[in-house]
């Protein structure tokens, strides 16, 4: 068991808080709860796959701590409410912290911090397990183990009833380790690749509202840094030890960073009860710089010495202009017209020097789209909307690599229609239907659609006796009639819920069916049966079923228990079965204290191979207090 400083600190803080409830009760200013305890984990089978899916570990935890503080009257001039909320501190893969301070009608400050761990480590099939020699060493030589942290701070200030200032900061970081592969000297080598990325996003906005007009001015500034390093941990024969390629050492440093500015103006106007106008202009600019230093040495594929010594640099300048306009006009009590217009342009120039090779690229992309529709209220319970959408995209590109120059002009048009139906026959009952059909004249890739259809139905029915039913069906059809590529997907969700008196329960069923295929003919190169045409079909299927249920029963003011289960079965290209069961009981002791006991068991199976299977049992015991 790994005990970190954070875990010890969490327990120390929780122990110190035991004395807080009594003091809080005396002042009457505090309300809240905390829950601290211990987790025991037992895993048999593949520990890597368990870490990819669940990643819960043994050890002490601060499962929850939340507190609300209402200051006394003499302190109300500074704040009306202070809230602190912590969840899963002590080393869990998902941790969160939030703090808010609010003075009603004056200011509002919020800070949130979320941390998550991402782990991936595929197993390389040895020959004795692969069975088929063609599958030997199949797998993924990449692996990842890094933390993602998101800090968000927002400070909002009101000046009277009309003016608002807003200041915000978003910071994203990714830090950890990974491995990757590169093809060098006709062989594939595996390298260590530390992860160190950070993005800072600063926001400032001003909003002013008149009687019928609201104006928003917004400024954003972003700065991104990515420290990219690749190095060979030791001498390597590559993934194919039969050939002569060998690397004695290798190091590559490829850092890049960018800064961007974003200027936004929004206008919302409703001059009368019939007309509503929304307009936005967004001007963006991005400056990116990169550097490359690559060194290495070893033996080439022909047995000659291999020397790698390259340097390079590059830069990209990008300007983006986005303009949006949406107008809604109500002709009468039943009819309304809807108009949307958008114009986007991208202008980008970039260059890169690597060794003796110079490459440049210039892009100009202009996109114009128009939506025109109408909405009619057939009755007080039925509303129908339908419209037409047209989009045109022009691309002019020019790139060079050494003496090679490539020019291309591409234009594609998208046309289609959409329709929506909303039906609310009674209170608590509603049905929504959405349809979309589009076609593309000249898609950019063989896997881009020339035709697209989407259909979605959603329904909700809530009864006064506590029962409710939710359901949805989404169907998507994509196809490219030039390449023979097509993709279809269907997703059905149904959920039945009950919430009344002491019992809260729900059960849901989902089915996802995805089918993607393309039939390609590949022409072989000289030396490999040159000129021969080989049929190369690609087929990917997913047929997954998901069943879940949960319940909670408050047996008394002091005793509650519940549980849930999640059953997943995918019989498509990647066959997977996963059963996940949980149960818990919570008992109140004394005045405000409680004991929580939980148990969870997980059974994961890959239907094609069993080397990645695992079984996990997780038990948690915690003690808490509410005041």
What per-residue confidence (pLDDT) applies to 5?
Answer: 43
Is the pLDDT reported for residue 21 higher than 60? no
Q: In b/e form, how buried is each residue of 544-568, taking b as 16+ CB within 10 angstroms?
A: bebebbbebeeeeeeebebbbbbbb
Question: What phi, psi does 81 have (nearest 5°)?
Answer: -160, 140
What per-residue confidence (pLDDT) applies to 177?
Answer: 95
Is the pLDDT reported for residue 37 higher than 60? yes
Enter the DSSP assignment of 236: B
Residue 42 class from Cβ within 10 Å (0-12 exposed, 13-18 middle, 19+ buried)? Answer: exposed
Strands 485-500 and 467-480: antiparallel
Lowest mean pLDDT, pick from 25-29, 315-319, 342-346, 569-573: 25-29
Dihedral of the CA atoms 42, 46, 50, 55 (nearest 10)? Answer: 70
Enter the DSSP assignment of 75: G
What per-residue confidence (pLDDT) applies to 563?
Answer: 97
What per-residue confidence (pLDDT) applies to 574?
Answer: 78
How far are the Cα atoms of 214, 443, 458, 571, 584 from residue 545, in angstroms, in the given order?
47, 33, 19, 9, 26
Is the pLDDT reported for residue 593 higher than 90? yes
Band (pLDDT 50/70/90 cuts) for residue 517 is confident
Look up the pTM and report it.
Answer: 0.84
pLDDT digits (tens, 9 = 90+) for 134-178: 455 556 778 999 999 999 999 999 998 899 999 999 999 999 999
How far are the Cα atoms of 109, 329, 449, 454 from residue 418, in angstroms, in the given order?
41, 19, 17, 9
Is the pLDDT reported for residue 534 higher than 80? no
Closest-CA residue to 597 (of 566, 619, 569): 619
**Three-class DSSP category at 142:** coil
Alpha carbons 618 and 2: distance in angstroms, whole number: 16
Task: Quote the percentage of the chain above a pLDDT of 90.
Answer: 68
- 541 forms beta bridges with 515
Name which residue leads in pLDDT, 234 or 508: 508
Band (pLDDT 50/70/90 cuts) for residue 571 is confident
Residue 405 class from Cβ within 10 Å (0-12 exposed, 13-18 middle, 19+ buried)? Answer: exposed
Alpha carbons 117 and 91: distance in angstroms, whole number: 10
What per-residue confidence (pLDDT) applies to 12?
Answer: 42
pLDDT digits (tens, 9 = 90+) for 203-260: 999 999 999 999 999 999 999 999 999 999 889 988 877 788 999 999 999 999 999 9
Residue 56 class from Cβ within 10 Å (0-12 exposed, 13-18 middle, 19+ buried)? Answer: buried
């Amino acid at each position: 068991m790994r005990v970190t400083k954070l875990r010890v600190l969490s327990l120390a803080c929780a122990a110190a808080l035991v004395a807080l409830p009594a003091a809080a009760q005396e002042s009457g200013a505090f309300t809240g709860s905390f829950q601290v305890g211990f987790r025991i984990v037992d895993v048999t089978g593949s520990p890597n796959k368990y870490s990819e899916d669940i990643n819960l570990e043994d050890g002490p935890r601060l499962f929850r701590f939340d507190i609300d503080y209402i200051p006394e009257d003499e302190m109300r001039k500074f704040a009306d409410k202070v809230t602190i909320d912590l969840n899963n501190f002590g080393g869990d893969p998902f941790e969160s912290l939030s703090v808010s301070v609010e003075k009603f009608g004056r200011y509002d400050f919020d800070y949130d911090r979320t941390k998550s761990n991402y782990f991936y480590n595929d197993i390389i099939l040895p020959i004795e397990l692969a069975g088929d020699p063609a599958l030997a060493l199949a797998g993924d030589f990449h692996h990842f183990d890094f933390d993602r942290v998101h800090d968000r701070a927002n400070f909002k200030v009101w000046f009277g009833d009309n003016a608002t200032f807003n200041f915000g900061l978003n910071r994203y970081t990714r830090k950890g380790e990974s491995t990757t592969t590169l093809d060098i000297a006709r062989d594939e080598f595996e390298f260590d690749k530390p992860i160190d990325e950070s993005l800072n996003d600063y926001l400032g906005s001003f909003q002013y509202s008149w009687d019928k007009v609201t104006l928003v001015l917004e400024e954003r500034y972003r700065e991104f840094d990515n420290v990219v390093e690749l190095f060979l941990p030791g001498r390597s024969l590559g993934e194919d030890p039969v050939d002569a390629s060998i690397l004695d050492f290798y190091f590559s440093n490829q850092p890049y960073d960018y800064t961007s500015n974003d200027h936004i103006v929004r206008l919302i106007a409703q001059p009368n009860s019939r007309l509503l106008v929304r307009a936005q202009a967004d001007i963006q600019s991005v400056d990116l710089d990169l550097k490359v230093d690559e060194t290495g040495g070893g033996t080439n594929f022909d047995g000659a010495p291999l020397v790698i010594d390259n340097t390079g640099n590059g830069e990209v300048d990008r300007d983006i202009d986005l303009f949006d306009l949406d107008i809604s006009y109500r002709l009468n009590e039943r009819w309304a017209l809807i108009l949307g217009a958008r114009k986007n342009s991208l202008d980008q120039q970039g260059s890169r020097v690597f060794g003796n090779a110079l490459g440049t690229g210039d892009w100009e992309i202009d996109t114009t789209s128009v939506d025109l529709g109408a909405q009619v209220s057939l009755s007080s319970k039925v509303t129908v909307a339908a419209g037409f959408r047209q989009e045109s995209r022009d691309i002019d590109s020019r790139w060079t690599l050494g003496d090679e120059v490539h020019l291309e002009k591409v234009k594609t048009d998208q046309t289609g229609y959409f329709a929506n139906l909303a039906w609310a026959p009674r209170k608590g009952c509603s049905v929504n239907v959405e349809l979309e059909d589009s076609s593309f004249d000249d898609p950019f890739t063989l896997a881009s659609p020339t035709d697209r259809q989407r259909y979605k139905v959603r329904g909700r029915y809530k009864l006064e006796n506590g029962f409710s039913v939710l359901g949805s069906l989404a169907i998507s059809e994509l196809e490219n009639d030039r390449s023979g590529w097509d993709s279809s997907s269907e997703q059905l969700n149904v959920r039945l819920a009950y919430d009344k008196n002491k019992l809260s329960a729900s059960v849901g069923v989902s089915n996802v069916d995805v089918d993607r295929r393309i039939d390609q003919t590949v022409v072989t190169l000289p030396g490999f049966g040159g000129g021969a045409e080989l049929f190369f079909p690609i087929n990917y299927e997913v047929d997954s079923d998901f069943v879940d249920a949960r319940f909670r029963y408050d047996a008394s003011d002091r005793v509650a228990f519940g549980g849930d289960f999640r059953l997943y079965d995918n019989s498509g290209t990647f066959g997977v079965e996963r059963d996940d069961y949980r149960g818990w009981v919570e008992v109140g002791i004394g005045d405000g204290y409680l004991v929580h006991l939980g148990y969870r068991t997980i059974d994961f199976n890959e239907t094609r191979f069993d080397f990645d299977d695992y079984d996990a049992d997780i038990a948690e015991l915690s003690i808490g207090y509410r005041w």
